[in-house]
């Protein structure tokens, strides 16, 4: 058990480092009163969104808490209480991480702008630590919470027989993962709708109708736009990866206890936590590498450095502590997969491919759209082959446990990948503040450079997010099947040739399309409300366009907040209720089919939409850099349309797939006992 | 056996009716020399395409023939020869049906235009019989070929023991299905690329650059455009549904012999053929209903009338001849599914939904594109639920045999659905000829009406095509698993939880994305070549724009033909080689997973792309009818872009999915013996 204590301490260590980084950021000079004022507006907007979001989330959490408490009674009151409590801790951890990360990111923006006056490295040393607060908080809370809860539960269950104890404790712990998923659903989907609705709304009236530049203080939606970057790409992304992180660890624990030989059960479970601890340490080391003149090289060094350090440490740990090398193969295949998916995303959203899309803009919008969709669809090929191969390698090296280990391996360095991702919006915001506060153009150049570096490296991080969601969903899927076996006491075979499995797969394969459709339309509807509000302000506030009066930023923030939260309830409920419904009415084979169908459809759809969006975005930037006619040309106009279509693709629909496929699997895992009872009650026997 | 004789006779009866209809059409007045001249150009263009296409197809067929002959030797030289011969007959049937259907459709166009001078009903009574030639030829050749071959093979195999005989004969017959698939691949994918490349190419230079109307004789690509309608929507669609028709029947035969109780094996197999025969008769009766003043009502009456007559006849046949009613439930669920999918397609491509897309065009192209994609994605929901439910109903009424019966039920009335589909391009072409030959506007109004009726009813037919492809692919999938069981002599369980199955699924799920991406890009590339040629002719042919000189239509036909055939080879090879590769290297579980993955991803992708495309098309037409600003307005321009994006969506990428999922399953079924030998050879044992 001492190893779990160590893991808890490492989790705490991550949190302490995050605290120091936060202090480091907060001690920096926040700049002129003007800058502070803008930053405050963004900060308040983000907090207002969080407050509303959390109010909705907490109602949701209370409902699920009650359902778990009552629904799992048949498994024993203690088990039900333990699961429900783990659920609260998992959800609470995500809420705290989001709050803390967002508080710092919305403070780091103006400080980055101020530091940019002194140079690139100085600015990087504010922006990146600002993002790293989110990164280390996520992994710190995840590891500390999970290890701590395990220690507590093992202590409470000390009276139980050894073999039973592990299964019961870890069964209850899976509630933790459900908690992470509950928050991620709202944070990622709501945040994704928020960020693009504000962005599209601000652009449509500001750039297109009024002809004022981006981030112009006269645009009433400009603060909402900057808030959106934070709630989408910092809080939403963090909650997404927290869910993956926790989900992969818990599926590892469940599968280890269920499938490994008796002597290895606990050792395998602890290995998962130790690997995560090594990952936290590697991430901290990698974070310290991020400095130097070129931001892009620094970020890349940090990421790849962490991956290499972790690989070495994981090798030593599995060989010497665990005593076998085969789990390392699975772990290593996972981390390699993450990197490959990231590099493929980079390939399809930069360079030659993007130039081809830009060239297709010269013959009009239609060819730009077709080319972008075609590129995105092609970009799914290598990632899916790699995921398929990783499933084979990790399974043949360590069974189902290997598949969980691949997920854990990929997510081990989440500490740094989240940091890189969260750094992006800080640099972006810093640029916005520089623009709004009229700082010298030299400052804006530096923040633009930082932002561009973030965009490129974020492609890799996005690959990690999707790849890890895929592996986590698969691992949770296997954890679910193991749990059904344990609960029903008989081996479960999901025969693909059974009609129920096939029907479940077809139905599960439809869900990602519903999610993509509703989230995209939600962006459109909310953006439309923003547009109307901005038009109203332009019309009714006298002197706004001349800079004599101030825009009412808070109104736009408020409208976007309400819209985003309202629009995400329907798809969210669907993702929770569908597995329950399919499981209860059609039985576990159909549910397994539905989960498999959602992954097989959801993963390529997410990769396609993310990469199409990224490629359109960069094609527009390529033309704006002066190529193929440059700004204002017909090809530029065509590329702007592509970018606008791509925005909800890459920042709303695609990331919401990550949540969807994990959430469905977690619901199946946690509610498995309830579903089995309903099956018996309705006469569906396997 | 007398029942098989009857089925062969009914097949022949269908062909005789097709012959009479062809004579009826050819006897009509072809119109003025001008009209005949234009029609001849379209006819020659279509024949030129067919000649080139068939040249490529025949090389492909010879290769597969040799592979079958040599690869299946281990199963016995006689079996190999019988399979390879069935393959030739299946492929030859499709080639003949395409040739005959296309010959008549490209003759019916000018006769329809001429008849339109006398009124709507007169024109309908030329155009629809013209399409019905294709419809009845497809089902006639399919049923006659299959029944005839069965009679011959049973005669040859008379020395074999009874139970063995059926399995061996029907195993060999599955080569017939592979033949149908080989031709369908080239006809549908090549035809799909052809039709949209010509259409987009003609529009880009003609309408956009030169500002001349559609079907203007001065546009050198206008004949290629009209040829495209025929090779895509007549020959390609016919080959697609021939493949489904034959595939569903053969999977029914294979599954009946493999899974039914000994006394029912042959009876079940014959039931499949009898149902098909009833369908042919019902279609002929339904075809006779298609007359009267409103073309749309007439077409709808014909389709629904056929479905009702068939349902009644199928009920009587299963109850009195087969002696059980349960197969009827499966058959009826299939035919209902087809109609529901069709009506859903109609809902999402007409009325309120389309008005919403049209309204979103008023805020620009980007909102139009997002709304169209969102609508298409949402339109997959009901069809997939219905397919899932049909799988359950048909399985629980008659086992795997029930799933095949659902496919057979849906395709039973293929005779009339193909007729309705093939009627569309004839009416469309008639309009083109009226325009080019400068006929009175009254004629053009009538042909436009006929065309519009065809478009609406074609939405139902498209639903049938996708739905039947899904059910056929599933039935072929089960036929494949039954074949593996028979060949390996041990029960096959495809465990979804096996790593190989999961890896296969992920890899199979990627293929539809490759197909969609490459076929769309192929359209773009070929259209670009057409544009260059048209520009060259405008530049180099003096007096072309003034109408003093004639355009070189044949050059554009030639360029499109070459482009379409070249571009389809890569995706076609992929669809054939991937199942072989996965099956040989990863074993039958992985192959089954890949097939399931391709269906689960391919079907929603096809429905999404077909309905997005249809909705964009109709939104444009709605605006062109004078709504929201009408022709020439900004919203009209936005809707034109949506339509251009939708063209390769709905007419190239979506239909090619139908082929893909069936072809992969057929390759698995026919090559199962070879794959098993390769598995043993490489040491992969189940």
- Mind listing the pLDDT tens digit for each residue in B492-549? 889 998 899 999 999 999 999 999 999 999 998 898 889 889 888 988 888 888 878 8
pLDDT at A86: 96
The whole-angstrom distance between B659's CA and the closest CA on chain A is 18
Inter-chain contacts counted by CB atoms under 8 A, chains A and B: 212
Q: Which of A209, A396, A497, A665 to mutate to test the interface with B (most CBs of B within 10 A)?
A: A497
Q: Do A601 and B516 touch (CB under 8 A)?
A: no
The whole-angstrom distance between B483's CA and the closest CA on chain A is 13
- The token pair at A664 is 């469905």
Picking from A251, A267, A198, A274, the residue whose alpha carbon sits closest to that of residue A229 is: A198
Residue range B253-257: average pLDDT? 93
Quick one: closest CA in A to B528, which residue?
Answer: A363
Calculate the average pLDDT of chain B.
91
- The percentage of chain A sitting over the pLDDT mark of 90, rounded to a whole number, equals 60
- The percentage of chain B sitting over the pLDDT mark of 70, rounded to a whole number, equals 99
Q: Which residues of B touch A686 (CB under 8 A)?
A: none
pLDDT at B382: 96
pLDDT class of B102 with cuts at 50, 70, 90: very high
Residue range A172-177: average pLDDT? 92
Q: Do A396 and B499 touch (CB under 8 A)?
A: yes
Q: Do A524 and B597 touch (CB under 8 A)?
A: no
The span from the CA of B477 to the CA of B474, in Å, is 5
| Cross-chain CB nearest to A644 (options B366, B474, B504) | B366
Backbone dihedral angles phi then psi of residue B36, each to the nearest 5 degrees:
-60, -40
pLDDT of residue B293 exceeding 80: no
pLDDT at B686: 47
CA–CA distance from B123 to each of B101, B288, B417, B446 (Å)?
19, 15, 19, 8
Q: Which residues of B touch A641 (CB under 8 A)?
A: 364-366, 369
Q: Do A499 and B391 touch (CB under 8 A)?
A: yes
Asked if B655 and B464 touch (Cβ cutoff 8 Å), the reply is no
Q: Do A604 and B601 touch (CB under 8 A)?
A: yes
The whole-angstrom distance between B583's CA and the closest CA on chain A is 14
Picking from A324, A301, A46, the residue whose alpha carbon sits closest to that of residue A195 is: A46
Q: Of the ranges A420-434, B201-215, B557-571, which one carries the lowest mean pLDDT score?
A: B201-215
Residue range B164-192: average pLDDT? 90
Picking from B357, B410, B369, B426, the residue whose alpha carbon sits closest to that of residue B133 is: B426
Picking from A177, A184, A185, the residue whose alpha carbon sits closest to that of residue A87 is: A177
The span from the CA of B84 to the CA of B510, in Å, is 30
- The token pair at B216 is 């203007």
Q: Do A517 and B374 touch (CB under 8 A)?
A: yes
Burial class from Cβ neighbours inside 10 Å (0-12, 13-18, 19+) for residue A618 reads buried
The span from the CA of B76 to the CA of B79, in Å, is 5
Q: Which residues of A touch B476 (CB under 8 A)?
A: none
The whole-angstrom distance between B479's CA and the closest CA on chain A is 11
Q: Do B403 and A499 touch (CB under 8 A)?
A: yes
Q: Which of B197, B200, B401, B497 to mutate to test the interface with A (most CBs of A within 10 A)?
A: B497
| Cross-chain CB nearest to A510 (options B385, B499, B506) | B385
Q: Do A380 and B510 touch (CB under 8 A)?
A: yes
pLDDT class of A220 with cuts at 50, 70, 90: confident
Residue range B650-657: average pLDDT? 92
The span from the CA of A201 to the CA of A221, in Å, is 7
Q: Of the ranges A486-500, A607-621, B174-188, B317-331, which one carries the lowest mean pLDDT score?
A: A486-500
| Cross-chain CB nearest to B503 (options A388, A495, A508) | A388
The H or E element spanning position B221 is none
Q: Which residues of B touch A507 (CB under 8 A)?
A: 384-385, 388
Q: Do A499 and B387 touch (CB under 8 A)?
A: no
Q: Do A495 and B499 touch (CB under 8 A)?
A: no
- Coil, strand or helix at A216: coil
Distance of CA B221 to the CA centre of its chain: 25
Distance of CA A182 to the CA centre of its chain: 13
The helix-helix angle for B441-488 and B381-412 (nearest 10°) equals 90
Q: Do A524 and B360 touch (CB under 8 A)?
A: yes
- Coil, strand or helix at A425: helix
pLDDT of residue B352 exceeding 80: yes
The span from the CA of B317 to the CA of B325, in Å, is 9
Burial class from Cβ neighbours inside 10 Å (0-12, 13-18, 19+) for residue B438 reads exposed
The whole-angstrom distance between B500's CA and the closest CA on chain A is 6
CA–CA distance from B297 to each of A48, A219, A613, B350, B671 (Å)?
57, 54, 44, 16, 45
Asked if B496 and A596 touch (Cβ cutoff 8 Å), the reply is yes
pLDDT at B252: 94
Kindly tell me the sign of the dihedral angle through the C-alpha atoms of A140, A146, A148, A151: negative
Backbone dihedral angles phi then psi of residue A392, each to the nearest 5 degrees:
-65, -50
Virtual CA dihedral for B521, B524, B530, B534, nearest 10 degrees?
A: -170
pLDDT at A686: 47
pLDDT class of B684 with cuts at 50, 70, 90: low
Asked if B149 and B86 touch (Cβ cutoff 8 Å), the reply is yes
Q: Which of A219-223, A345-349, B591-595 has the highest mean pLDDT?
A: B591-595
| Cross-chain CB nearest to A510 (options B380, B400, B506) | B380
pLDDT at A350: 86
The H or E element spanning position B196 is helix B191-203
| Cross-chain CB nearest to A601 (options B387, B493, B601) | B601
The whole-angstrom distance between B496's CA and the closest CA on chain A is 5
The span from the CA of B83 to the CA of A436, in Å, is 75
- Mind listing the pLDDT tens digit for each residue in B32-82? 998 998 899 899 889 988 998 999 899 999 999 999 999 888 888 888 999
pLDDT class of A307 with cuts at 50, 70, 90: very high
Quick one: closest CA in A to B370, which residue?
Answer: A645
| Cross-chain CB nearest to A517 (options B367, B377, B597) | B377
CB proximity list for A460: less than 8 A, separation 6 or greater:
A303, A339, A342, A343, A345, A346, A417, A420
* CA end-to-end span of chain A: 38
Calculate the average pLDDT of chain A.
91
- Coil, strand or helix at A453: helix
Q: HSE of B597 in the Cβ direction (CA atoms, 13 Å)?
A: 34
pLDDT at A685: 55
Asked if B203 and B214 touch (Cβ cutoff 8 Å), the reply is yes
Residue range A411-427: average pLDDT? 91
- The token pair at B328 is 């009827």
Q: Which residues of B touch A497 (CB under 8 A)?
A: 400, 478, 481, 492-494, 592
The per-residue DSSP string of A412-428 comes to HTHHHHHHHHHHHHHHH
pLDDT of residue A461 exceeding 80: no
Q: Do A601 and B509 touch (CB under 8 A)?
A: yes
Picking from B565, B528, B509, the residue whose alpha carbon sits closest to that of residue B236 is: B565
| Cross-chain CB nearest to B366 (options A377, A507, A641) | A641
The whole-angstrom distance between B248's CA and the closest CA on chain A is 17
Q: Which residues of B touch A521 (CB under 8 A)?
A: 370-371, 374
The whole-angstrom distance between B600's CA and the closest CA on chain A is 6
Q: Do B510 and A644 touch (CB under 8 A)?
A: no
In terms of pLDDT, which residue wins out, B339 or A88?
A: A88
Q: Which of A360, A513, A602, A650 to mutate to test the interface with B (most CBs of B within 10 A)?
A: A513
The span from the CA of A348 to the CA of A354, in Å, is 7
In terms of pLDDT, which residue wins out, B85 or B203?
A: B85
Rg (CA), chain B: 24
| Cross-chain CB nearest to B520 (options A374, A400, A524) | A374
| Cross-chain CB nearest to A600 (options B370, B492, B506) | B506
Picking from B531, B497, B506, B466, the residue whose alpha carbon sits closest to that of residue B595 is: B506
Asked if A676 and A487 touch (Cβ cutoff 8 Å), the reply is yes
The per-residue DSSP string of A534-594 comes to HHHHHHHSTTTTTTSS---HHHHHHHHHHHHHHHTHHHHHHHHHHHHHHHHHHHHHHHHHH
pLDDT class of B685 with cuts at 50, 70, 90: low
Q: Which residues of B touch A330 (CB under 8 A)?
A: none
Q: Which residues of A touch B494 (CB under 8 A)?
A: 495-497
CA–CA distance from B528 to each of A612, B49, B522, B523, B563 (Å)?
22, 19, 10, 8, 10
């Amino acid at each position: 058990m001492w190893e779990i204590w160590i893991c808890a301490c490492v989790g705490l260590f991550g949190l302490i480092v995050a605290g120091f980084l936060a202090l480091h950021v907060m001690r920096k000079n926040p700049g002129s009163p003007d800058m502070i004022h803008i930053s405050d507006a963004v900060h308040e907007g983000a907090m207002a969104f969080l407050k509303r979001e959390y109010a909705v989330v907490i109602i949701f959490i209370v409902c699920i808490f009650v359902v778990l408490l009552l629904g799992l009674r048949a498994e024993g009151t203690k088990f039900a209480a333990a699961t429900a409590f783990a659920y609260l801790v998992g959800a609470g951890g995500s809420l705290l991480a989001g709050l803390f990360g967002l508080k710092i990111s919305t403070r780091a923006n103006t400080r980055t702008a101020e530091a940019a006056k002194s140079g690139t490295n100085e600015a990087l040393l504010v922006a990146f630590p600002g993002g790293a607060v989110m990164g280390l908080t996520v992994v710190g809370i995840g590891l500390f919470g999970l290890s701590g809860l395990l220690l507590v539960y093992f202590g409470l269950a000390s009276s139980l027989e050894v073999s039973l104890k592990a299964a019961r404790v870890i069964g209850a712990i899976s509630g933790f993962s459900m908690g992470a998923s509950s928050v991620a659903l709202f944070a990622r989907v709501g945040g994704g709708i928020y960020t693009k609705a504000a962005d599209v709304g601000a652009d449509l009236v500001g750039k297109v109708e009024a002809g004022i530049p981006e981030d112009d203080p006269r645009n009433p939606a400009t603060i909402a736009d900057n808030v959106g970057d934070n709630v989408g790409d910092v809080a939403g992304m963090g909650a997404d990866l927290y869910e993956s992180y926790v989900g992969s660890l818990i599926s590892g624990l469940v599968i280890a206890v269920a499938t490994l030989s008796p002597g290895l059960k606990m050792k395998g479970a602890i290995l998962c936590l130790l690997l995560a601890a090594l990952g936290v340490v590697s991430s901290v080391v990698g974070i310290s590498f991020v400095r130097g003149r070129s931001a892009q090289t620094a970020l890349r060094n940090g990421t790849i450095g962490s991956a290499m350090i972790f690989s070495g440490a994981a090798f030593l740990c599995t060989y010497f502590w665990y005593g076998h090398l085969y789990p390392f193969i699975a772990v290593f295949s996972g981390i390699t997969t993450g990197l490959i998916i990231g590099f493929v995303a980079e390939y399809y959203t930069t360079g030659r491919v993007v130039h081809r899309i830009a060239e297709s803009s010269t013959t009009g919008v239609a060819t730009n759209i077709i080319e972008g969709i075609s590129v995105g669809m092609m970009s799914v090929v290598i990632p899916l082959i790699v995921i398929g191969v990783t499933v084979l390698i990790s399974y043949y090296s360590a069974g189902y446990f290997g598949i969980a280990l691949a997920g854990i391996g990929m997510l081990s360095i989440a500490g740094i990948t989240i940091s890189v991702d969260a750094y992006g919006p800080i640099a972006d915001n810093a640029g916005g503040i520089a623009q709004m506060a009229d700082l010298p153009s030299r400052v804006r150049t530096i923040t633009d450079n930082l932002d561009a570096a973030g965009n490129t490296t974020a492609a890799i991080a996005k690959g990690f997010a999707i790849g890890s969601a895929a592996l986590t969903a698969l691992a949770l899927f296997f954890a679910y099947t193991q749990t059904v076996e344990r609960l029903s006491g008989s081996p479960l075979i999901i025969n693909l040739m059974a009609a129920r499995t096939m029907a479940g797969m077809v139905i599960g394969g439809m869900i990602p399309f519903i999610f993509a459709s509703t989230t995209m339309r939600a962006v459109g509807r909310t953006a439309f409300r923003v547009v109307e509000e901005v038009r109203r302000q332009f019309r009714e506030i006298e002197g706004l366009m001349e800079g004599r009066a101030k825009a009412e930023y808070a109104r736009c923030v408020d409208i976007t907040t309400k819209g985003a939260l309202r629009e995400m309830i329907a798809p969210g409920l669907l993702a929770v209720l569908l597995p329950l419904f399919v499981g209860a009415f059609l039985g576990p084979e159909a549910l397994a089919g539905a989960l498999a169908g959602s992954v097989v459809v959801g993963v390529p759809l997410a990769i396609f939409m993310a990469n199409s969006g990224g490629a359109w975005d960069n094609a527009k930037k390529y033309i704006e850099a002066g190529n193929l006619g440059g700004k204002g040309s017909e090809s530029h106009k065509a590329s702007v349309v592509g970018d606008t279509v791509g925005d909800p693709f890459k920042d709303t629909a695609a990331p919401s797939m990550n949540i969807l496929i994990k959430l469905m699997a977690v619901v199946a895992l946690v509610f498995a006992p309830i579903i089995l009872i309903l099956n018996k009650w309705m006469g569906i026997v396997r």
